[in-house]
A = this chain, B = another copy of it.
Amino acid sequence: MDGNEHERKRVLVTGADGLIGRLVMEALDDEYELIGLARNLSGYATVIADISDLAALLPVMEGVDAVVHLAATSAVESPWARVLPDNLIGTYNVFEAARRAGVERVIFASSNHAIGTYETENAPALYELGDGRAWDHHADIRPDSLYGVSKVFGEALGRFYADHHGLRVFCLRIGGVRDPEDPSHPNQLWADMGDTSPETVAKRKRMRAVWLSERDCVQLITRCLESDERWALVYGISDNPRQFWDLGHARGILEYAPRDGAPEAVE
């Protein structure tokens, strides 16, 4: 600990043992004083707590400047029995505990699945280069799953806490973050080019459209940690040629400047 330790913002990261959580814990460790929260012991968790337990969250929030709320059941097909405690009750507890502790800002990992039906209705044509369609943050909500409904709930809750309790709230409709070793990572897609079934080809194209690179993800979260805005709802993807969610608002309100874009090749 050096003399500037007290000047670094203290940031609580929920879901610190998840894919994005691990990324944040590694990349932001120098700039911020990070507290990693997870349900189970892991290399990145410094606090063990279940976000569905408000009483357990309250002491963790003391002295925290910002929360990066990533903890959730993240599978699109998650059943109600998981969505209810992990995403609905858990997200309420995070916002409410933050409010009670006087935390200034919450960054909420929402999801494109809050409006996923625009995609399910228009795929796979939507994935084509030059399709040109893009939905922005004013699109009517159209969740494609209970998981998506839970993200709409979290966004609505965030807007309420921003408007009526003075928190700064940033909701990121994240596309797809992948481990570099994951076969579905855009840089890995060429490995299985032998499989040209329509379904696999569509999946590859989709991943190129919705990809959020590791460093763009870190940049976007950092922008939220430093922003003077009270509220923002933006899409979290890299500057992908096949993108069908609008990045204009993220560029404008958060000065997000993605450095990556999913690689392209002729199929």
Task: Give A146 to B93 CA distance when docked, in angstroms.
Answer: 12
Q: Which of A127-144 contact B (CB under 8 A)?
A: 137-138, 140-144
* Chain A facing B: main interface SS: helix
Least CB distance from A102 to B in Å reads: 19
Verify if A159 is at the interface (C-beta below 8 Å from B).
Answer: yes
- CB neighbours (8 Å) of A73 from chain B are none
Is there an interface contact between A156 and B143, defined as CB atoms closer than 8 Å? Answer: yes
Choice from B96, B137, B142, B153 contacting A152 with Cβ under 8 Å? B153
Verify if A117 is at the interface (C-beta below 8 Å from B).
Answer: yes
Is there an interface contact between A141 and B163, defined as CB atoms closer than 8 Å? Answer: no
- Greatest chain B CB density within 10 A among A80, A114, A157, A160 is at A160
Task: Give A120 to B80 CA distance when docked, in angstroms.
Answer: 33
Least CB distance from A69 to B in Å reads: 16
Count this chain's copies in the assembly.
Answer: 2
Choice from B89, B137, B149, B157 contacting A157 with Cβ under 8 Å? B149
Contacts A80-B96, A88-B88, A117-B164: A141 and B153 contacting too (C-beta < 8 A)? no
Closest B residue, CB atoms, query A121? B163
- CB neighbours (8 Å) of A141 from chain B are 141, 152, 155-156, 159
Choice from B96, B143, B146, B164 contacting A159 with Cβ under 8 Å? B143
Contacts A152-B152, A152-B153, A153-B152: A160 and B143 contacting too (C-beta < 8 A)? yes
Least CB distance from A242 to B in Å reads: 23
Q: Mark A152-193, 1 if CB is under 8 A from B, else 0.
A: 110111011001100000000000000000000000000000
Is there an interface contact between A153 and B155, defined as CB atoms closer than 8 Å? Answer: no
- CB neighbours (8 Å) of A80 from chain B are 92, 96
The 24 listed contacts between A and B (C-beta, < 8 Å) are A80-B92, A84-B89, A88-B153, A117-B160, A117-B163, A117-B164, A137-B140, A138-B140, A141-B141, A141-B152, A141-B155, A141-B156, A142-B159, A142-B163, A143-B157, A143-B160, A144-B160, A144-B164, A146-B160, A148-B160, A152-B153, A152-B156, A153-B153, A153-B156
